[in-house]
């Protein structure tokens, strides 16, 4: 029997305004983002390897 997975807990930036603003929320699993104004909408996901590669590119300055 496969254990049931708990849904992620979502966190919004502390800089978001009181009305929700134009923010994204990140899952506590750190592998998903969603639009805070549309929590039932699409979710952007990635693998841990892809996230590590993204951070490496940001640190190196390759992204601009």
Taking only the tens place, the pLDDT of each residue in 5-33 is: 788 999 987 777 666 567 889 999 889 99
Buried residues in 39-64 as b, exposed as e (16+ CB within 10 A): eeeeeeeeeeeeeeeeeeeeeeeeee
pLDDT at 14: 75
The strand pairing partners of 24, in sequence order, are 35
pTM over 0.75: no
From 40, 61, 57, select the one nearest 49 (Cα to Cα): 57
Gap between the Cα atoms of 28 and 9, Å rounded = 5
């Amino acid at each position: 029997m496969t254990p049931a997975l708990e849904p992620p807990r979502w966190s919004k930036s502390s800089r978001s305004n009181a009305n929700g603003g134009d923010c994204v929320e990140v899952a506590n699993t750190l592998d998903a983002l969603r639009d805070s104004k549309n929590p039932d909408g699409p979710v952007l996901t990635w693998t841990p390897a892809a996230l590590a590669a993204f951070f490496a590119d940001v640190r190196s300055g390759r992204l601009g």
